Structure 1
Amino acid sequence: MTYIYLLINIAVIFFPLVLSFDKKVHFFSKWKFVLPAILITGLVFLIWDLLFVKLNVWSFNPDYIVGIRFFGLPLEEILFFLTVPYACVFIYECLNAYFPKDSLQKYSFSLSNLFLGLCVAMLFLGYNRWYTVINFGFLLLVLAYVEYVNVQFRLMFKFYRAYLVALIPFYIVNGYLTAIPVVLYNNNENLGFRVGTIPFEDHFYLMALLLMNIYLYEFFKSRAVVKAIV
């Protein structure tokens, strides 16, 4: 039972890793862009995670982790920020390879404005709850930056498409983590609304995690193109 969270991490990355050598996607050739994106984003989210453990926003059930900790965080939680982003960026690249048209790009700006409005509303609604405030505050900043400030990648339609598909494994994996539960939430620090066993905020935690990884991934790819031209 103590290996449950570790096995979930392995299951999350197993198929994306094996399928990284697919001839059409050729994802393994992009590892040099994926890895720095994952490491930088992972560092940010690990600091966030550590803060939330200290603030008792969430904790981890000792019955389902191996007991190895770094800076107070279980090994499995650290691996989570490697396995999940890798799988999500893999989904993003697969969709781009097999469905390259972006005819719905024109609607992504309106969708971003809708999510930005939701972030502001949630900040007012949950202003005294740590998870709600930090989660929606961070998403607000990242989303506004990518959509309004750094617009050259035109990635938002592709991002929303990948996010929508990523919600399928998200409901399976996070549903399992919260149902057992492996992760224990302090409901005084969130809105208390759940989709099944999954806190409402988790959906937008995934959005922020995925958006930061994909933005950095595209950033590192664009730098390599510029260097090749020069």
Structure 2
Amino acid sequence: MGSEYLLFNILVLAGPFSLSFDRKVCFRQYWSKVFPAMAAGSFPFLVWDYFAEGHFWTFNPLYTLGINIGPLPLEEILFFFTVPYAVLFTWEVFRAYFTSRHLPVKRLIFLLIPGGLGGALIFATLFQWYYTALVFLAFALALGVDFILLGEKSVWYQSLWYRFLLIFIVMVLIANGYLTARPVVEYTSLYRSNLHVWTIPLEDFLFGLSHISIILTFYTYLKFRRSRD
């Protein structure tokens, strides 16, 4: 069905948007930070998607409307905003209902940056797994931006973040599971490890984590900056 990917985006957005007016979470009060954070955080990944289409993956025209911006279906562009909106809404729900504490993991988390850069170098040069290398590079850069902008206020230092990651993994399993099982997105077997969780390339988890991490970094930064003004 040509409208299936569009309907998927609508379903992803419908629940979080309708509950954005709930009194306890009142997510709509944060919209002035949500939309700039999503735009800034999604832009580099959309550029990546734009140039990767046809090399790392292709989109099945059976499930899209046929309205494209360059090589990308309109629904794919919407995906980079509907899913982050749902994730940020879920983050605020967690913040409203659960307490968090600061974890002494700064050195451990900081080691992930050279780890990501080293992984990117190894996968690109030794295996020619360029997609795998790019997701490791994106993860390292996302952490770097987080530490530069947030410092000690980094979400990676909060115990709540690690609870939230469990929900994030479920989101990836549902969203990317749907996209790859139909398949709306068809991956080439080149340039990646070909390790999967069900039908989902293993790299997609780190791609999604990097994307969401940098959006949450921008979102948190905008909230703290407004509170200081």
What TM-score do you get using the length of structure 2 for normalisation?
0.90
Cα distance in structure 2, aligned partners of 1:49 and 1:19: 30
Residue aligning to 1:120? 118
Residue aligning to 1:179? 181
1:110 aligns with 2:108: yes
Question: Post-superposition shift, 1:119?
Answer: 5.9
Residue aligning to 2:202? 200
Cα distance in structure 2, aligned partners of 1:16 and 1:134: 30
Question: Post-superposition shift, 1:126?
Answer: 4.7
Cα distance in structure 1, aligned partners of 2:24 and 2:107: 29
Identity of aligned residues (%): 36
Mark the CA change 1:95 to 1:108 in structure 2 (over 3 Å): closer, same or farther. farther
Cα distance in structure 2, aligned partners of 1:7 and 1:116: 40
Question: Post-superposition shift, 1:172?
Answer: 1.2
Mark the CA change 1:99 to 1:20 in structure 2 (over 3 Å): closer, same or farther. same
Mark the CA change 1:112 to 1:185 in structure 2 (over 3 Å): closer, same or farther. farther
Structure 2: gaps spanning 5 or more residues:
none
Cα distance in structure 1, aligned partners of 2:176 and 2:107: 28
1:15 aligns with 2:23: no
Q: Does structure 2 retain, via aligned residues, the 8 Å contact 1:91–1:166?
A: no
Q: Does structure 1 retain, via aligned residues, the 8 Å contact 2:120–2:134?
A: no
Residue aligning to 2:94? 95
What do residues 147-171 of structure 1 show as CA deviations (whole Å, max 9, x unaligned)?
A: 4774142311343432321211221
One-letter amino acid of the counterpart of residue 88, structure 2: V
1:53 aligns with 2:53: yes
Structure 1: gaps spanning 5 or more residues:
none
One-letter amino acid of the counterpart of residue 213, structure 2: L
Q: How many residues align?
A: 225
1:21-170 pair list within 5 angstroms: 21-53=21-53, 56-102=55-101, 105-107=103-105, 110=108, 113=111, 117=115, 120-121=118-119, 123-127=121-125, 128-147=128-147, 150-156=150-156, 157=158, 158-170=160-172
Cα distance in structure 2, aligned partners of 1:195 and 1:112: 27
Mark the CA change 1:39 to 1:169 in structure 2 (over 3 Å): closer, same or farther. same
What TM-score do you get using the length of structure 1 for normalisation?
0.89
Cα distance in structure 1, aligned partners of 2:48 and 2:201: 17
Q: Secondary structure at the match of 2:100?
A: coil
